[in-house]
Amino acid sequence: MNESVSPGTAIDHALFRLRGLWAKPFRQRRAVEAGKSIQLSHLMVISAIFRLQEGSAEEVTVGAVADFLDIDPSTASRLVQDTITAGYAERGSSALDARRARLLLSERGRRLREAMTRLRLEHLDEVMGTWSEPDRQTFAALLTRFVADVTRKPPDHSRLVEMLEETDRPCSGDRPPPYPR
């Protein structure tokens, strides 16, 4: 780590790069073979359904997927429908409430989740191949703790509008923003 960069800045840069690296295969949006469309949103929904079903007697609903992915219910509804249309998930009848549907992974969705998990784990093993087992365990513990802490205390975006307005304030030599205020 560069000594002049704070740990927070280094972590921010690393997370930004990681997000791009993990999403890179899906920016192309389609596999080489026709009819093999896999979108990142499919994997997000598949993961949400799987993790929500894991060890829970609760039925998985669109609302639960929205909460898990921290997205609006209307967006979750669209993503879930896209995932169902792609054949990775199914709607089933709710045993608790006839007015709602429960979500299930299809056999195809289970196979895709298993294959993508295997691919990620193989990649991590390759990347950390030279790391000692204690280093891997320390990294896993710290990263897990970091994610738990961020989940418990998500970013406060209440000042976002104020910060955006600050960026629109003219500086000497600046042109006005391209949209009306």
Q: What is the pLDDT of residue 96?
A: 82
In this prediction, residue 93 has a pLDDT band, given cuts at 50, 70 and 90, of confident
Residue 35 DSSP one-character state: T
Going from N- to C-terminal start, the domains of the chain cover 7-127, 131-170
Minimum mean pLDDT range among 6-10, 38-42, 109-113: 38-42
Q: Calculate what percentage of the chain has a pLDDT beyond 90.
A: 50
pTM summary value: 0.73
114 and 122 Cβ atoms separated by less than 8 Å: no
**Encoded tokens for 37:** 């469309």
**Is the pLDDT reported for residue 130 higher than 90?**
yes
Beta strand spans in the chain (E): 89-93, 101-105
Q: Residue holding tokens 């998500």? A: 154
**Is the pLDDT reported for residue 23 higher than 90?**
no
Mean pLDDT across 3-23: 82
DSSP element (H, E) containing 104: strand 101-105
Residue 100 DSSP one-character state: S
The class that CATH gives domain 7-127 is mainly alpha
Q: Residue holding tokens 């391209």? A: 178
